[in-house]
Amino acid sequence: MEQRVDPSPTLQDVAKEAGVSVATASRVLNGSSRTVGKDNVERVLRAAGKLGYAPNLSAQATARGSTKTVALVVSDIADPYFSTLAAGVLEGAEAAGLIVTMAVADRSAERECRIVATLRGYRPHVIIVAGSRLDGPRDALVEELRAYVAAGGRAAVISQPGLPFPTVAIDNAGAAKDLALALADEGYRRFAVIRGPAGLHTSRDRCDGFLAGLRQAGIEVCRVLDTEFTEDGGYAAASRLIAAGLDDVELLFAVTDAMAIGAMRAVRDAGLVPGHDIAVAGFDDIGPATDVSPALTTVRVPLHEMGKRAMDLALSGADPAEVQWMPTQPVLRTSTPTSTPDSVS
């Protein structure tokens, strides 16, 4: 048996079926309303319905010279951080009648750049890059985006202030500092921090901010541990710390929730109880942060809102230099109980 394939009905088919010209059909199906006869409208609509017509958006795009799509590039969609961001972008796009095409850069700056180049081929209405969390030269990316913008595109960037495009970001250093202060307020005095590779702005800013907060509270950090920017990295670092002797470290701050959750696991695996034997704090407030127990103290980052805001920002044709700073907030949960946990020696 042959695989019968009658191609999608075109505007021509609809027009013929309705007994009108393509122009008329086009007008009722898409174009600027009112200029078409009541009866013809009905004929066309009926014909379209009967044939199951769906406009060829690619053809529409070439004809119009513009698309109704937004291109989104993230580092890793399975990461709650990015998937929440993506959800916000999708919501914003939906509201604007746009549809989003998305690609993952897999935490490689080079791949990210290639992806933007490819995506650019779709002449999307908007390009949003949510690719923080990776290191490497951004010049190529900037060039690519600049060309896109020069050709009339709208770009927005999430979490990497300093790039010459409208940006939505948070004050990593300030937020970390606030957290440190809040924790000091709770009575904590002896801290260790787990951070990612030095090249990562996000990691560095959060670490530096946290240390600054401690200093302001008259506290000196006990230990700073370098590791991978992942949950496993957090696990490894915490394990190392514990193996080397916790001394009287009371609280472990990891620069991301993922790392903090990894650290909590390490604590548990070492036979200690997080929140009791040692407090743990993270940064991001991703979903799982409230699922773990004890619930993770962290800095709330409005990920979903940031995604949505990035859409709005790009759409509004914001000034390339505009940085929309989103509010953050320390969220104290039971992983950092108010009464200083018993220190283990």
Asked if residue 93 binds DNA (CB under 7 A), the reply is no
Residues 6 or more apart whose Cβ sits within 8 Å of residue 332: 182, 183, 186, 297
- Pairing outcome for strands 329-331 and 298-300: antiparallel
Per CB under 8 A, the list member of 18, 28, 104, 301 interacting with its own copies is: 104
Residues 147-166 that bind DNA (CB under 7 A): none
Q: Please list the residues that pair with 168 across neighbouring strands.
A: 158, 324
Near its own copies in 7-26, by CB under 8 A: 7-8
Q: How far apart, in whole angstroms, are the C-alpha atoms of residue 53 and residue 70?
A: 24
Burial of 338 (0-12, 13-18, 19+ CB in 10 A): exposed
CB 227 within 8 Å of CB 234: yes
For strand 126-130 and strand 154-158, is the pairing parallel, antiparallel, or unpaired? parallel
Q: How far, in Å, CA of 217 to CA of 214, rounded?
A: 5
Helix (H, G, I), strand (E, B) or coil at 264: helix
Cβ–Cβ < 8 Å for 244, 212: no
| Nearest distance from C-beta of residue 154 to DNA, angstroms | 18
* Cβ neighbours of residue 92 closer than 8 Å, sequence gap 6 or more: 307, 308, 309, 310, 311, 312
Could you say whether residue 23 binds DNA (CB under 7 A)? yes
| Widest Cα–Cα separation across the chain | 88
Residue showing tokens 């078409």: 36
37 belongs to the binding site for DNA (CB under 7 A)? yes
Q: Does 21 bind DNA (CB under 7 A)?
A: yes
Could you say whether residue 32 binds DNA (CB under 7 A)?
Answer: yes
Binding partner of 12, given DNA, its own copies, none, CB within 5-8 angstroms per partner class: DNA
- Rounded to the nearest 10 degrees, how much is the dihedral formed by the CA atoms of 223, 171, 212, 80? -20
Which of 292, 293, 189, 200 minimizes the C-alpha distance to 247?
189
Among 45, 51, 60, 142, which residue sits at the site for DNA (rule: CB under 7 A)? 60
Residue 29 contact partner, candidates DNA, its own copies, none, CB within 5 to 8 A by sort of partner:
DNA
Does 103 bind its own copies (CB under 8 A)? Our answer is yes
- Using CB under 8 A as the binding rule, whether residue 5 contacts its own copies is answered as yes
Q: Does 29 bind DNA (CB under 7 A)?
A: yes
99 binding DNA? (CB under 7 A): no
Does residue 12 bind DNA (CB under 7 A)? yes
Q: Which of 16, 40, 140, 217 binds DNA (CB under 7 A)?
A: 40
If one asks whether residue 288 binds its own copies (CB under 8 A), the answer comes out as yes
Output 100 or 182, the one with its CB closest to its own copies: 100
Indicate left, alpha or beta for 246 from its phi (over 0: left) and psi (-120 to 50: alpha).
alpha
Q: What is the rounded radius of gyration, in angstroms, for the C-alpha atoms of the chain?
A: 26
30 contact, one of DNA, its own copies, none, CB 5-8 Å limit per kind: DNA
Residue from 164, 245, 287, 327 that binds its own copies (CB under 8 A)? 287
Structure token digits, residue 278: 């040692």
Q: Which of 40, 56, 108, 230 binds its own copies (CB under 8 A)?
A: 56
Look at residue 102 and give the partner it binds from its own copies, DNA, none, a contact being a CB closer than 5 to 8 Å depending on partner kind.
its own copies
Return the number of the residue (204 or 230) whose C-beta is nearest its own copies: 230
Residue of 212, 202, 142 lying closest to 177 (CA atoms)? 212
218: contact with its own copies by CB under 8 A: no
| C-beta separation of 266 from 234 below 8 A | yes
224 binds its own copies (CB under 8 A): no
Shortest Å distance, C-beta 139 to DNA = 25
Which residues of the chain form contacts with its own copies (CB under 8 A)?
Answer: 4-8, 52, 54-62, 65, 67, 69, 76-78, 80, 83-84, 86-87, 90, 94, 99-104, 117-123, 147, 150-152, 231, 261, 264-265, 268, 287-288, 291-293, 304
Which residues of the chain form contacts with DNA (CB under 7 A)?
Answer: 7, 10-12, 20-24, 26-27, 29-32, 34-37, 39-41, 53, 55-56, 59-60, 62-65
